[in-house]
Amino acid sequence: MSNERLLIIDDDRDLCELLKDYLGHEGYRVDACHSAEEALELLGVESSWDLLILDIQMPGASGLELLQQLRPRVQTPVIMLTGRGDEIDRILGLEMGADDYLGKPCNPRELLARVRAVLRRSSLQELPAQKSLFPEQPVAAFGIRLDPGAREVRAGEAVLEMTSAEFNVLAYLMNSAGTVMSKEQLTELVLHRKLTAYDRALDVHVSRVRQKLAAQLGPDRELIKTVRGQGYQFLKDHA
């Protein structure tokens, strides 16, 4: 049984009670609040939750506005709950640092699977099947140094703030520099699920990594190459 703490932020009180009951039976300690303002107050007092489940559409400040205020100060993993037709909200949420999303109305069993996956990849321990691809020692290229032990990325002297998913994307790509990694492979390694049609989550995480690298190294240094129809490749540093 798990013992992680979850915070649900959703104005639908009935849904919160349902999810608290369901996830509680799976061993999670679940709290709930019903507005972005209440969540900010709670998170300002303590930050001991292991994962936030955040509804995008709430009265008052929206979930996106809350997420924008939380990142990068709060690195707690976030799963967004979005309307099924609100693709732009999903993309914006991922760009702002959410780790995953699930459409509403959500199936509690699918949410449980997403919670487990996000918590698993946010932990410092990698699954045994991933060890051959995930770096065990620091890797460096083009002035970037990624330390898997410290979960830290530096570009020169600057430390780059990255979500867990963004860090893992960069770690896998840097450790496989010069080799194309397919979207299917990266989705399974980073997001712990199969790639499905119209799934943009991985693309958005890669885009955010590119933006953060470009902010430090300059926009002309495109280190992550898109290989059409295949996937992504981190360039080999021949220096």
Give 127's pLDDT tier (boundaries 50, 70, 90): very low
Give residue for tokens 């926009």: 219
Q: Give the helix ranges, DSSP H, for the chain.
A: 13-25, 36-45, 63-70, 87-95, 108-122, 164-175, 183-186, 201-217
Dist CA 161 CA 154 (whole Å) = 9
pLDDT tens figures, 132-150 = 588 889 999 999 999 988 8
Give 86's pLDDT tier (boundaries 50, 70, 90): low
Give 104's pLDDT tier (boundaries 50, 70, 90): confident
**Burial annotation 83-114 (CB, 10 A radius, 16+ → b, else e):** eeebeebbbbbbebbbbbbbbbebeeeebbeb
Give 85's pLDDT tier (boundaries 50, 70, 90): low
Mean pLDDT of all residues in the chain?
A: 86
pLDDT tens figures, 1-26 = 567 999 999 999 999 999 999 999 99
Residues 6+ apart with CB under 8 A from 167: 146, 151, 153
Across 9-13, 61-65, 122-126, 135-139, least confident range: 122-126
Q: Residue 132: what pLDDT?
A: 59
Higher pLDDT, 191 or 81: 81
Q: Where are the domains of the chain?
A: 5-122, 128-234
Q: 212-218 — which CB contacts under 8 Å span 24+ positions?
A: 212/160, 212/161, 212/162, 212/166, 213/144, 213/155, 213/160, 216/155, 216/156, 216/158, 216/160, 217/142, 217/143, 217/144, 217/155
The correct answer on CATH 3.90.1150.10 for the domain covering 128-234 is: no
Q: Residue 108: what pLDDT?
A: 93
Q: Which CATH superfamily is domain 5-122 in?
A: Response regulator (3.40.50.2300)
Dist CA 67 CA 78 (whole Å) = 9
Give 182's pLDDT tier (boundaries 50, 70, 90): very high
Q: Residue 239: what pLDDT?
A: 60
Mean pLDDT is highest, among 37-41, 43-47, 73-77, 120-124, for: 37-41
Tell whether the model's pLDDT for residue 126 goes beyond 60: no
Dist CA 32 CA 39 (whole Å) = 9
